[in-house]
Amino acid sequence: MDANSYRSTSLLARPVNLKIANTSANASAPPWNQASPAPKATTLIYSYGMSFAMDSYIARAATYEELNSFHSDDYLDFLGTVLPEPVPRDVDNANPDLKFNLGGSDCPLFEGLYDYCSLSAGGSLDAARKICSRQSDIAVSWGGGLHHAKKAEASGFCYINDIVIAILQLLRCFPRVLYIDIDVHHGDGVEEAFYSTDRVMTVSFHKYDPLNFFPGTGGLDDNGPKNEHNPGAHHAINVPLNDGVTDEQYKWLFETVIGKCVEKFRPSAIALQCGADSLAGDRLGRFNLQVQGHGACVEFCKKFNIPMILFGGGGYTPRNVARAWAFETSIAIGCQDKIDPIIPVHAPWREQFRYEELFPTLEQILGEPRVNRNPQKRLAEVVQHVTEQLRFVQAAPSVQYQAIPPDLGGLREDVEEKLKEEREAENDSIRKAREEAAGTAMEL
């Protein structure tokens, strides 16, 4: 589907909303994240003067009740009381007796863990509320995007799944949400959270190697529950990739797959996880993606004119992540064509970017690009598989079967009316089908 052909009648030009990490809170940075890319990205955004074209807010800490909308009581209580322990760098699980997968090298315990989780979730939750209240068409939470966390388990440096909590908030206002993940790792936590609902479709583009690359899930045939009567069947779309995928391939694949998903699912809102470890030069990534190719995904989604949240995510070479998120912020506010390709001289940490350009070349980043193990024939087969899978997805599914926790303030009256109309339309369709079937039976 061509993004330009999709029109949302309810969307007006409203300010982009940016959530800034609350540096005054008593939250320590995680030990692996002392050079977090989010502050660098925010500084770069302000250095370019983008703040004049958006509304910026200090992120607040999410309450226990808000975290509890997805995570279990036992898990949250443990996060709030557990004490940090030294973790040897060469040990995957230093203490097997620790609960909830906490304490290993990829989910270490540290001072201020609970506060860190609360702030991460609070920023993303408030972004969702800005979208729900129509205060913004695009909301940005670069400090969020922790897509691996499960209901009662930490995973892959993710303790709280702020994306799931934000989508639950969106579902109180919008019938259907399309979740898109362009992190180099499979968005397994979000997919699992909405595994059995037809109100959320998850689409993940990621490197896939079940034996050698975390989390080892997200194969082409992993498309939701196998029981066809489960509402979530076929609502998990996975696009597994090999090393070395290029900007041109990724852009074609993304636009083709997402175009088909939007055409069939007709989402009311989009949640886009912009993990930047898919960029070339990332310490964990294996792609040949540049800042422009990564940003093209945001630009394509914006063209649908659907309310959207941009989340952060993975990224282990901070200078590259900051470049990508700053550029994608410029796309959100519509100034990407005017942005200076040279990083402003007054930008803090400018010397840490290694090169002055906002868009360094592959040769500057890698020296020599990685070998591309994604032949075009295989990518075409992936698209064909996704197309076949979407044939089984009910267009614009009903919302009558899927219950969600009520918001503290209740559903908006206009949203209730919209959902009621959809239910009545589907009931009329079912009644007509039964009448036609009964008439056919009488003739026989």
- Domain residue extents for the chain: 3-411, 413-444
Q: Which among 179, 144, 419 has a CA at the least distance from the CA of 308?
A: 179
In sequence order, the 6+-apart residues with CB closer than 8 A to the CB of 358 are 291, 323, 326, 327, 339, 340, 341, 342, 343
Domain 3-411 fold is Arginase; Chain A (3.40.800)
Q: What is the pLDDT along the chain (444 residues), one digit of tens a residue?
A: 666 555 433 343 466 777 665 543 344 556 555 456 788 899 999 999 998 999 998 889 999 999 999 999 999 999 998 877 655 544 454 455 568 999 888 888 888 899 999 999 999 999 999 999 999 999 999 999 999 999 999 999 999 999 999 999 999 999 999 999 999 999 999 999 999 999 999 999 999 999 999 999 999 999 999 999 999 999 999 999 999 999 999 999 999 999 999 999 999 999 999 999 999 999 999 999 999 999 999 999 999 999 999 999 999 999 999 999 999 999 999 999 999 999 999 888 788 787 789 999 999 999 889 999 999 999 999 999 999 999 999 876 555 544 444 544 444 455 556 666 766 776 676 667 666 655 554 554
Q: In the 8-state DSSP scheme, what is residue 104?
A: B
Binding-site sequence positions for a divalent metal cation: 183, 185, 277
Helical segments of 30-112, H only: 37-47, 64-67, 73-81
Q: Which among 185, 202, 183, 203 has a CA at the least distance from the CA of 193?
A: 202
CB 170 within 8 A of CB 274: no
Task: Residue 415: count other Cβ atoms within 10 Å of its Cβ.
Answer: 16
Rounded distance between C-alpha atoms, residue 130 and residue 135, angstroms? 5
CB 368 within 8 A of CB 242: no
Given the DSSP bridges, would you call strands 308-311 and 138-141 parallel, antiparallel or unpaired? parallel
Binding-site sequence positions: 106, 156, 183, 185, 277, 316
In sequence order, the 6+-apart residues with CB closer than 8 A to the CB of 351 are none
- In the sheet that holds 177-181, the strands lie side by side as 54-58, 16-20, 138-141, 308-311, 269-273, 177-181, 200-207, 236-241
How many residues appear in the chain? 444
Rounded distance between C-alpha atoms, residue 281 and residue 278, angstroms? 9
Binding-site sequence positions for substrate: 106, 156, 316
**What three-state secondary structure class fits 441?**
helix
| Residues that are catalytic | 148
Q: In the 8-state DSSP scheme, what is residue 4?
A: G
Q: What is the pTM of this model?
A: 0.84
Rounded distance between C-alpha atoms, residue 181 and residue 206, angstroms? 8
Q: Which among 92, 89, 171, 158 has a CA at the least distance from the CA of 131?
A: 171
Cβ-count burial of 317 within 10 angstroms (0-12 exposed, 13-18 middle, 19+ buried)? buried
- Tokens 């996704």 sit on residue: 386
Q: In the 8-state DSSP scheme, what is residue 378?
A: H
